[in-house]
Structure 1
Amino acid sequence: MVNRKELNPESSPQAAFGARVRSMREARGWRQEDLGELMEYSGVHVSAVEVGRKMPTLRFACRADAAFGTAGTADTFERQWREIRHGSLLEGFPEYVGHEGRAVEIRLYEVGVLPGLLQTPEYASALADSAVKRGAITPEQAHERVTIVAERQAALARKRPPLVFVVLDESCLRRPIGEPTVWDAQLAALAEFAELPNTVLQVAPFDMGERRPFDLPVYLLTLSDRSLMSYAESAHRGHLERESTFVLPMLTAYHQLQAEAPSQAECVAMISQLRKGTP
């Protein structure tokens, strides 16, 4: 015990993870070697995680949940790991991304800023760099945000890609992001997205007025078992909803939005006009 290192759980999310592992292990009277055997890790590895020398992995977190019986609870080690991994992202969003990567149908409505699934790396970087300049996030967190965008897009490039329906509020196209070359390339990427066989891209123009059913961004997923899920964000957190009595009305409203919005051909024509510099 003379080599026991005192831990400060408040120093970082990683330290809090390690301190929790140690606390729960010692409460059960286990040595590090005992826990390591249960988790299929060495005692040295467990020690390194506990004192913060080694970053926990998703596999480690899931094995810890199995060993301590915390799987399926509201406070799992997996959730704690995701908070470490995605510390600059809203609570709930990493979980949403996991479901998004497995969904068979994705429906998005976005206001002001293009959704991540449609962003070019340069567009995503311009947004992240702006947040750094405002002091909202660190350069490391900015890099993480851009990486997450790329990972989300890569997850959709699978053998049987999902159907992706996107309705953009006109503000998304009237708000240039980045240098002119970045913005032009982003508009070109939108037109290319519309040409894919598994996508539909529409724009909800300003003059839709009160016929627009949503005032905030909407994310709707259909999973392989045909169950539905929605995701919404406030200023401080994201929320996943699986209750059909809540999600089904949102899906109905989304269909109404698609019916009211101009066609994809009209959307592509608008993008072409913007690239030419005409209103």
Structure 2
Amino acid sequence: MLNRLELDPTRSPRAAFGAELRRAREERGWTQDEAAVRLGYSGTHISAVETGRKPPTPRFARRVDEVFGTGTKFRDMLWDIRRTSLLRGFPEYLEHEARAVELRLFELGVIYGSLQTTEYAVALATGAVRRGSITQAQADERLAVLAQRQARITAQPAPLVHTVLDESCIRRVVGGPTVMAKQLDHLLAFADLPNTVFQVAPYDIGEARSLSLPVSLLTMPDRSVAAYAESALRGQFERETDTVLPLLTAYHQLQAEALSQAASVALVCKVRRELR
């Protein structure tokens, strides 16, 4: 083949992605233009990704996995390229969160990211840097991403946002009393927005709490529902009905056990008064 550029997959993660894309494409007997039609991109774009001139995006990697039937192979390779402070699976979640018309959120231990004040978020990031779990550059990345997500809450048209926070979120003081007081005030303002539902899952519901890990559920414009859950090591984004529906059921059960919005606001006010 004329002008065929030989690829060295050991040069970088991006080169490895491009070489594997070419191998998988040629294994199926597709030209770049034929693969482009199936993937919904141009042949020039496919060529640029294969040769490393253009970095793959989460959307591109997901589409390759779907069309090539490779599971999560290319999405996993994309993670090696990006290597950010964000958990694996989270960048894909962010793409969908930005387009969702309804969000259902549950958090443990700390205030959910999109509901954090800048001071609260900085305190968390600074603590992570001090422990050595992330670098300052990664902390800055987290804060930049967070600012974009926070703007989505009040964007127009704004999504409907259901939020259930475990009582531990409002009890744990982050950044000292002054920062925490401002954070609780921010929650009260959030609860007063016309597009939000705010609840606290109190300690005394005990084993009736139906979720044991933070979960985000997104309703997309086509009314499909996606889910994101994470552990300390990785995040998992899911769109398969068999996986998402049990989480959606558990979320509704949690809302039924949680305090009403009025009682939740009263509890936040009580905790706010107790800060010293």
- Structure 2 CA distance for partners of 1:71 and 1:128, relative to 1, 3 Å: farther
**What amino acid is aligned across from residue 159 of structure 2 in structure 1?**
P
Give 1:102 deviation, angstroms: 1.0
Contact kept in structure 2, 1:62 and 1:77, CA below 8 Å: no
Residue of 180, 183, 190 corresponding to 2:180? 183
Distance 2:239 2:21 in 1: 31
* Counterpart amino acid of residue 56 in structure 1: P
Q: What residue in structure 1 maps to residue 234 of structure 2? A: 237
Give the aligned partner of residue 153 of structure 1. Answer: 150
TM-score normalised per structure 2: 0.77
Structure 2 alignment gaps of length 5 or more: 32-41
Map Cα deviations across residues 75-122 of structure 1 (whole Å, 9 max, x no partner). 676765565446222111111111111111111111101111111122
Aligned to 1:170: 167
2:262 pairs with 1:265: yes
Greater mean deviation of Cα atoms: 245-254 or 123-132: 245-254
**One of 117, 120, 124 as aligned partner of 1:120:** 117
Corresponding residue number in structure 1 for 2:246 = 249
CA shift, 1:239, in A, is: 1.5
What secondary structure sits across from 2:171 in the alignment?
coil
Q: Against the structure 1 CA distance between its residues 83 and 108, is the aligned structure 2 distance closer, same or farther, given a 3 Å change threshold?
A: farther
Which amino acid is 2:55 matched to? P
Provide, for residues 191-238 of structure 1, a one-character-per-residue CA deviation record: whole Å limited to 9, x for no partner: 111011010111011011122111221211111111111111133222
Q: CA RMSD in A?
A: 3.8
Matches of 1:141 and 1:278, distance apart in 2: 31
Distance change in 2, residues 1:193/1:200 (3 Å) = same
The partner residue of 1:144 within 138, 141, 146 is: 141
CA contact (8 A) 2:217 2:227 kept: yes
> Residue 267 of structure 1: CA displacement?
1.4
| Separation in 2, partners of 1:170, 1:17 | 44
Q: Is the contact made by 2:177 and 2:275 (CA closer than 8 Å) also made in structure 1?
A: no
Name the residue aligned to 1:35: none
Q: Work out which of the residue numbers 195, 199, 204 in structure 1 matches 2:201.
A: 204
Q: Check whether the contact 1:70–1:77 (CA below 8 A) recurs between aligned residues.
A: no
The alignment covers a number of residue pairs equal to 264
Amino acid across the alignment from 2:228: Y
The CA deviation string for residues 155-208 of structure 1, in whole angstroms up to 9 with x for no partner, is 344322111101110000111111332211111111111011010111011011
| Partner Cα distance (2:49, 2:96) in 1 | 30
| Letter of the structure 1 residue corresponding to residue 189 of structure 2 | E
Q: Find the aligned partners of 1:76 and 1:249 in 2 and give their Cα distance.
A: 26
> What amino acid does structure 1 have at the position aligned with 2:225?
L
Q: Tell me if the contact between 1:82 and 1:94 (Cα under 8 Å) persists in the aligned partners.
A: no
1:27-71: CA deviation from partner (whole Å, max 9, x where unpaired): 99x9xxxxxxx6658x9x989x84xxx883749x949x88xx977
